[in-house]
């Protein structure tokens, strides 16, 4: 009798573990990318070929340059928990905070809201891939866990409509999340945000307000379809 009970317990535990693994795999397609991000954060110096380079073009003829150095760790439409859809790219510098430069991927007019410690947003009056449509480019996590900003002093809080060229230094990667006890890994979050009817940027946290960055960089950056290993973008041309 006792042996049977143990056998049943083993079968039940095994089935639950299998079900759990299946759920994680099906709901969180980022699992493979996460292991790369963790390895990169721990041992970036061992994997120089994994890094994208700030200012580089990933493919000839595409409009955006890479906005920072590092591993393109998480993609647009990756999922970090059931039901979540990630609205941009997370690029991990592999350094401490305040060291890895962030540059403009495309020219436009920079805004920084008076309360923003870690983010800027750049108005692009005409989408290079859909001329006439206005879009916004959002760059965030440029502060330390306590909200000490790494944004360039050229763009103080309250900046509006300041014209910048592609490649302009915006600041440095940080790990600010708004919760000092739970900082993120050091990275840049970059997203392409749609305008509303009045021409204001929409809520970037909603994926339907953002665009798949793949065609703007010329490499697969859609979390649902891209492979785990993302191209380094060191020499696209
Ligand atoms: Zn992100």
Q: pLDDT 10s digit of each residue in the chain, 237 long?
A: 566 766 666 666 666 565 554 444 444 557 788 999 999 999 999 999 999 999 999 999 999 999 999 999 999 999 998 999 999 999 999 999 999 999 999 999 999 999 999 999 999 999 999 999 999 999 999 999 999 999 999 999 999 999 999 999 999 999 999 999 999 999 999 999 999 999 999 999 999 999 999 999 999 999 999 988 776 676 444
Q: How far is CA 220 from CA 13, 100, 232, in A?
A: 39, 24, 12
> 5 CA to middle of ligand 1, Å?
47
> 60 CA to middle of ligand 1, Å?
26
| pLDDT (0 to 100) of residue 11 | 63
- Residue 46's SS3 state is helix
Phi then psi dihedrals of residue 86, to 5 deg: -80, 130
The DSSP letter of residue 93 is -
Task: Answer yes or no: pTM beyond 0.75.
Answer: yes
The candidate with the shortest Cα–Cα distance to 125, out of 155, 163, 152, is 163
> 28 CA to middle of ligand 1, Å?
15
The candidate with the shortest Cα–Cα distance to 139, out of 66, 49, 80, is 66
């Amino acid at each position: 009798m006792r042996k049977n009970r143990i056998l049943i317990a083993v079968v039940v535990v095994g089935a639950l573990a299998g079900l759990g693994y299946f759920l994680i795999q099906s709901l969180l397609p980022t699992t493979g990318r996460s292991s790369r991000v963790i390895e990169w954060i721990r041992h970036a110096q061992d994997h120089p070929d994994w890094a994208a380079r700030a200012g580089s073009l990933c493919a000839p003829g595409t409009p955006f340059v890479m906005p920072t150095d590092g591993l393109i760790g998480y993609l647009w439409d990756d999922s970090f928990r059931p039901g979540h859809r990630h609205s941009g790219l997370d690029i991990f510098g592999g350094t401490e905070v305040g060291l890895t430069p962030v540059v403009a991927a495309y020219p436009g007019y920079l805004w920084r809201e008076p309360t923003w410690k870690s983010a800027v947003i750049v108005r692009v009056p005409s989408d290079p891939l859909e001329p006439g449509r206005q879009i916004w480019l959002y760059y965030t996590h440029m502060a330390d866990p306590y909200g000490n900003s790494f944004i360039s002093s050229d763009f103080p809080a309250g900046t509006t409509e300041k014209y910048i060229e592609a490649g302009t230094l915006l600041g440095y990667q940080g790990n600010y999340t708004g919760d000092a006890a739970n900082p993120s890994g050091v990275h840049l979050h970059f997203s392409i945000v749609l305008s509303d009817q009045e021409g204001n940027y929409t809520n970037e946290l909603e994926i339907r307000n953002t665009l798949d960055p793949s065609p703007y960089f010329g490499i697969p950056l859609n979390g649902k379809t891209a492979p785990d290993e993302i191209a380094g973008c060191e020499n696209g041309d």
